[in-house]
Chain A
Amino acid sequence: MNNKTILLIEDNPDDEVLTLRALRNNHILNDVTVAHDGQEALDYFFGEGAAANTAPAVVLLDLKLPKVDGLEVLRRIRADQRTCLQPVVVLTSSREEQDIVNSYRLGANSYIRKPVDFAQFMEAVRQLGLYWLVLNEPAPVQRK
């Protein structure tokens, strides 16, 4: 595996721990930056000192977030020229049609529902890591 960064946007500490554990157990050893709410996530891209942050290989975005919700974060990422090509995977609890449709409409690259069964969750994270960190070729960096 390479050393690309993963940005995990997740407010639930349990889910954060479990996601990190799933990544680790699947031997995905990339740097993981965690944003605990929508604002932190936006700060990562657009805040002070954001220029120092590397563009993540993939953003794992939860939808239900405090302050700024996941869909709004997605909309802002897509709205900004610097980040509009950033791969974003929605990783959330719900399978509500409206969530799925809205996510894709706002330009999500993928939508994955977190299964309750941890074994299934492990498998999902494994495939996700394999795909986005290994197989996927991201767009060239657009930053000035």
Chain B
Amino acid sequence: MTTLMKLRNALASFIEHSPFRWAVLSLAAATVIATAAYSYREIDSQLTALTLSRREAVAQLMATTLTEKFGRVVDIAISLSTNPQLQNLVEKEKWIEVDELLHTVPQDLPHIDRLFLTDTRGTLRADVPALPGAHGINLASLDWYREVSRNWQPYVSPAHLRVAAPQINILAVAVPVKTSAGQVTGILVLHIHIEKLFEWVAGIRTGEGASVYIVDSKGQMAFHSGQQNHKKITDLSENPIVQKLRRGENGVEVGSDVMEQQESIVAYAPVSGFGWGVIVQQPVRTSLGLAARDTQLRNLLAGYGIILLLGAMTAILTLRVVNARQREENDRRMKAELERQVAERTSELQVANRELQSFSYSVSHDLRAPLRSIDGFSQAVIEDYAGQLDDQGRDYLNRVRAATQRMGHLIDDMLALSRVTLAEMQRGTVDLSALAAEVLAELQKNEPGRKVDWCIEPGLAAVGDAHLLRVLLFNLLGNAWKFTGKTANATIEFGAMQNAPTQNTQGTRDYFVRDNGAGFDMTYADKLFGAFRRLHTNADFPGTGIGLATVQRIIHRHGGQVRGEGAPGRGATFYFSLPD
């Protein structure tokens, strides 16, 4: 098990790290395919050769048998022609006696259809069985006469249809009749009934669907094992296999059937000495050998297919493991990178924060000192040189002082705003209702003369930084307080409303601070929360324009949203959300 896993890991890491992994996999697949192809070809050719050689053997066996049959027929003819009595009678041209003699030829040779004798010029002199009026007819125009008379050797003719009824396929065996001195005196001709001569062929089992053709010396099909009593002599001399046979070649090939034109195994062998030939053919589809070969090849292909499939599956699984590993590695790297970036940003932020802190520290010290000088010395001039100043001079100096004091407030507010940004958040549950009551009480205490009705929804709690939320409410309620300063029956309301849940969010809660004071023009709503932006003049409502900027920063630090609604003279409502 461990060895297997080691092997698998080694393979995986090889595949993972080798830049040639696809090449290696392709090479492995190609090797398997090449082996498969080689085996396929080997088995194919071996089994095919085996099957074909069997066919060829059958053809040759039949050709040999046929040679023997022809030989025996010729032997019979020769033994008849060399009968001394016959020789003697023919020599003396005693044709009637010859005729009688021929009739004594044993009739137990069933394939001998007819036998007759001519003189050397081809004139028929005797025949068995006798055809009326045949005697005296010259047959010199027939091929067997021409062939035999050429050199007076025995001759076996091609197949032809018997002229007289019934029409059957016959062949002629012609042998010369000679005197004892060797002089040719006549020709003995046997007509052989082809069908009967080749009867034995039908008895040979050559295989399912197989057939045997016997082709004569002219390239005609003399016999077809599948067609008994076949009368037609088909000329096959144009057929390439028949041409090979006529050249005396033997062999076997897979090709087109000589007659039926279907894919067949065709084996052929010449009948030596007679110019005939045997063709044994069997359709490929019925060849048991080829069927067995095909089954074997199919099994072989299936086997290699399974090997390839298993290999591919292994490769795929391995690749998946490798890919998963790489993904993991990438994820890990990405996470590390993200962590590094976060750490970097955090440290950058910390640096920026420290810089901001030291900036506000020096602002706090250094910006205020000159203001104090301006204000102090303006006052000193007013006090010490009162006699030399007219009212306008005093007024100017008072304006200088007012401006410096205002500048002092701006600096203070700016620092307060930056403190809101820089302060560390300490989250906890904060009772906003109680906080609002506290703030309003404080406002009331600072201006005991104001009469304001306020209404606070009880029990509103939120999660946030208590100090910042106090600053938030102080600014919002302080604004409400300030901007209702000129309103009769001033009312300030603090409450919350639930928003309907949407597809993506649960129902959120919006808190609001509402007043019926001076309000504002919604046209300028986008300017509400900008630092030092004011919608009212300092004379109407004093302020530095930092309050709502502070509110927005506090809400943003809590991840919430803030917006204002209002109309001039009809009050304002500020909504804010504080996500948990």
Which residues, 1 to 18 on A, are CB-close (under 8 Å) to B? 12, 14-15, 17-18
Q: In the complex the two chains form, is B380's CB within 8 Å of A116's CB? A: no
Question: Is A118 in contact with B379, judged by CB distance below 8 angstroms?
Answer: yes
B364 touches A94 (CB 8 A): yes
From A12, A14, A99, A119, B379 is in contact (CB under 8 Å) with: A119
Contact of B372 among A25, A63, A93, A94 (CB under 8 A): A93
Kindly provide the distance from the CB of A92 to the nearest chain B CB, expressed in whole angstroms: 7
In the docked arrangement, what's the CA distance between A9 and B467, Å?
A: 35
| CB contact under 8 A between A18 and B365, given known A116-B405, A117-B408, A119-B379 | no
| Chain A neighbourhood of B375, CB < 8 A | 116-118
Whether A14 and B369, one on each chain, are in contact in the complex, defined by CB atoms closer than 8 angstroms, is: yes
CB within 8 Å for A96 and B372 given contacts A14-B377, A116-B404: no
Q: Is the CB of A64 within 8 A of B372?
A: no
B368 adjacent to chain A (CB < 8 Å): yes
Q: How far is the CA of A121 from the CA of B380 in the complex (A)?
A: 12
Q: Mark interface residues in A82-124 (1 if CB within 8 Å of B CB, else 0).
A: 0000000000111110110000000000000011111101000
A21 within 8 A of B: yes
A64 near B380: Cβ-Cβ < 8 Å? no
B372 with A18: CB separation less than 8 A: yes
**Does B234 touch A at the CB level, under 8 Å?**
no
Most B-side CB within 10 Å, residue of A94, A114, A116:
A116
- Interface presence of B293 (CB below 8 A): no
Number of residue pairs spanning A and B whose beta carbons lie under 8 angstroms apart: 68
Q: How large is the interface on B (under 10, 10 to 19, 20 to 34, 35 or more residues)?
A: 20 to 34
Of B360, B369, B401, the contact of A12 (CB 8 Å cutoff): B369
Chain A residues with CB under 8 Å of B373's CB are 12, 14-15, 18
Contact residues in B for A115 (Cβ distance below 8 Å): 372, 408
Contact across chains for A114 and B372 when beta carbons are under 8 A apart: yes
Residue of B nearest to A22 (CB): B376
B454 within 8 A of A: no
Interface residue total, chain A, C-beta cutoff 8 A: 23
Contact of A15 with B369 at beta-carbon distance under 8 Å, contacts A116-B405, A118-B376, A119-B379 already known: yes
Q: In the bound complex, what is the Cα–Cα distance between A98 and B371 (angstroms)?
A: 23
A118: chain B residues at CB < 8 Å are 372, 375-376, 378-380, 401
Write the B373-413 contact mask toward A (1 if CB under 8 angstroms, else 0).
Answer: 10111111001000000000000000001001101100010
Provide the residues of chain A in CB contact with B404, threshold 8 Å.
116
Q: Which residues of chain B come closer than 8 Å to A119, judged between CB atoms? A: 379
User: What CA separation (Å) do A92 and B369 show in the bound complex?
Assistant: 9
B38 within 8 A of A: no
A79 to B364, CA, bound (A): 28
| Chain B residues whose CB sits within 8 angstroms of the CB of A99 once the complex forms | 361
- Measured in the bound complex, the distance between the Cα atoms of B102 and A62 in whole Å is 167
Indicate if the CB atoms of B365 and A121 lie closer than 8 Å: no
| Contact status B369-A18, CB under 8 Å | no
Residues of B within 8 A of A114 (CB): 368, 372
Chain A residues near B368: list those with CB within 8 A.
Answer: 93-94, 114, 116
A115 to B371, CA, bound (A): 10
Contact with A along B404-446 (1 / 0, CB 8 A): 1101100010010000000000000000000000000000000
The listed residue (A14, A64, A96) touching B376 by CB distance below 8 A is A14
CA distance in complex: A125, B365 (Å)? 19
Do A116 and B372 have beta carbons less than 8 Å apart? yes
Cα distance A113–B552 when bound, in Å? 29
B371/A116 in contact, CB under 8 A? yes
Could you tell me which B residues sit within 8 Å of A by CB distance?
360-361, 364-366, 368-373, 375-380, 383, 401, 404-405, 407-408, 412, 415
Chain A positions within 8 Å of B, measured between CB atoms, are 12, 14-15, 17-18, 21, 25, 63-64, 92-96, 98-99, 114-119, 121
The list of the 6 closest CB pairs from A to B, nearest first, reads A116-B408, A14-B373, A18-B376, A94-B364, A118-B379, A118-B376
Would you give 17 A-B contacts (Cβ < 8 Å), ordered by A?
A: A12-B369, A14-B370, A15-B373, A18-B372, A18-B373, A18-B377, A64-B365, A92-B365, A93-B372, A94-B361, A95-B364, A98-B361, A99-B361, A115-B372, A116-B407, A117-B375, A119-B379
